[in-house]
Amino acid sequence: VALVAGISGGFIDSYLFLQVYDLSDDGATIVSVLVAVQTLSEIPLFFMSSVLIERFGTAGCLVIVMVAFFIRDIVYTYMEEPWYIVPLEMLHGVTFGLLLASLTTYIYDASPKGAAGTMIGLLSAFMRGIGAGIASLVGGYIYDEFGVPTVWKIGAYGLVPASLLLIGVFAWLARRQSSTTVDLEKQLVDEADSTSELSKVSQIQ
């Protein structure tokens, strides 16, 4: 999930500003505005992320992220006037802030003791390293050969469905692991109770 989301985000980071600059007469100005809106959009999502994760769960939040990616990609596909997408860039808070918060929170909670830092580092490597790198390399070829709308269509109709499928697998595995953990804890409690009862019987005898 992190890798595919990293590719989706990498497409936007690498080619949105280039497309906007090409479409606008005052490209430098609008790029600055978009960066400002994107940055500001992260703040409320980072603050609200714990509430959203508690309310919808990690998988639910990831689905919200993918819906936001789909909306952004579709709008970019048919973009003609860059200034119209300025309000849309508030969704960056979802596709970056909520995504990062959801994944790091889950990994921190699920990691073995002392391994959380390593696992979060691997998450960052997959999402912002490998994923973004693939987006830059592959996206550059697609941009030159087929045009930037094709980049966004691949994101909307390829990466988003793939991510939703992976999120479904993730949710199933997480639920299965949780069920196994509960069963194991119940078994340990039952064994402890049985041992305690046997000890009491031995003391009485």
Residue 151 pLDDT > 50, yes or no?
yes
Angle between helices 27-77 and 2-23 (to 10 degrees): 130
In terms of CATH, what superfamily is 2-171? MFS general substrate transporter like domains (1.20.1250.20)
Domain ranges of the chain: 2-171
Handedness of CA 140, 147, 83, 61 (dihedral sign): negative
Percent of the chain with pLDDT over 70: 86
Q: 79 falls in which pLDDT band (50, 70, 90)?
A: very high
Q: 37 falls in which pLDDT band (50, 70, 90)?
A: very high
Residue, of 142 and 187, whose pLDDT is higher: 142
Residue, of 89 and 177, whose pLDDT is higher: 89
CA dihedral defined by 95, 130, 112, 100, rounded to 10 degrees? -10
Q: 175 falls in which pLDDT band (50, 70, 90)?
A: confident
**pTM, two decimal places:** 0.84
Q: 187 falls in which pLDDT band (50, 70, 90)?
A: low
State the pLDDT at residue 184: 46
State the pLDDT at residue 109: 87
